[in-house]
Amino acid sequence: MKPLLVIVFACVPLIAQADVKSDAQALFDLGIAEMREGKLADACKHLAASLAKLSDSGTQGALALCTTKQGRIATAWALWRELAVTAPTDAMKTSAAQAAAELEPRLPRYQLKSKRSIAGLIVKINGTQVDLTVDVPLPVDPGKIAVAASAPEYKEWTGEASASEGQVTVIEIPNLEALPKVVQPPIPVGPVQAKPRNWLAIGLAASGGASMIAGAVFGFRASSKWSDAESGCGDVDACPGDAFAKASSDYDSARTSALISTTLIGVGISALVGAGVVWYVKRSKTPSDHPALVPVVHATGGGLVVLGSWR
């Protein structure tokens, strides 16, 4: 069984090769028949397809003859020139070289000229990129020549020329138009506007500062009232009856001022801390995430609470 399998698999490439030859032969036969009928466009297309499937000197010679009849002198000349080197017999090589020599006087040629040297310049003739270092007239089929030139940072230029048998057509590449340069907008220099979150921080800092100043004022007032009460009465328990009422009032006023001072200073410190938090923490742009300042006051003091979410 094993030798049989080897034989079967060995036959697969031979079958595939046979199919390629059959396809190439069919295309060749069709191309020859169409050339005899004068259907040169179809004939040349099928002969070229046959040659692409299977390289064959006879097919190449037939295609060279077809393109000659079609008027594509440069294409036919190139095919004959190649065949003059690759043909399997000396007779075929000699015949191909003679055919190429007969076509050579009829060859249309083109020569490129450029007004200035542009880095990265690419020129295409009939869709095929040409070597710009070759500074001699090059063969081209007669008729219209499509020309395209492009380079980095320049607009592509397209043009047309016409080639005639036995003539050299000079194709001049004009100065390419530079693409507009993208100018980066200048970075504004000037006062930096506070971001939305900074306005809140500034407001908190100002409120905190004002609260602490007010707290200090009440603190001085409390100290002053306490001093007045002590200087006017001394020890409250031993205070004479006529001075007791005033001393008691001064003591109460001092305690109240001290409580207010403590509360205001606490509120001021809380506001300043909140300002620092808002200033340095990146908050969300959604309205629901905006921080809110909530005052908190209780029996022993007070302060401010910053509510919100940051991310």
For the chain, give the percent of residues with pLDDT over 90.
44
For the chain, strand residue ranges (E) read 109-114, 122-125, 128-129, 138-139, 143-150, 157-163, 168-173, 292-298, 301-307
What is the amino acid identity at position 104? E
Model pLDDT, residue 229: 61
Model pLDDT, residue 135: 85
Model pLDDT, residue 307: 55
| Tens of pLDDT, residues 249-269 | 666 666 676 667 677 666 667
Model pLDDT, residue 242: 60
**Homologous superfamily of 109-173:** Carboxypeptidase-like, regulatory domain (2.60.40.1120)
Distances (CA, A) of 256 to 211, 223, 252, 265: 16, 11, 6, 14
Model pLDDT, residue 115: 75
Model pLDDT, residue 263: 75
Residue 242 CB burial class (10 angstroms; 0-12, 13-18, ≥19): exposed
Model pLDDT, residue 74: 95
Cα-Cα-Cα-Cα dihedral of 273, 278, 280, 281, to 10°?
120
| Tens of pLDDT, residues 133-188 | 888 999 999 999 999 999 999 999 999 999 999 999 999 998 888 888 877 777 76
- 291 Cβ partners below 8 Å, 6+ apart? 197, 200, 274, 278, 283, 306, 307, 308, 310
Model pLDDT, residue 287: 45
Tokens of 158: 């397209």
Domain extents for the chain?
A: 16-105, 109-173, 196-307
Tokens of 119: 């880095």
| Tens of pLDDT, residues 6-63 | 333 333 444 556 688 899 999 999 999 999 999 999 999 999 999 999 999 999 999 9
pTM of whole model > 0.75? no
Query: pLDDT-based confidence at 286, cuts 50/70/90?
Result: very low
CATH of domain 16-105: 1.25.40.10
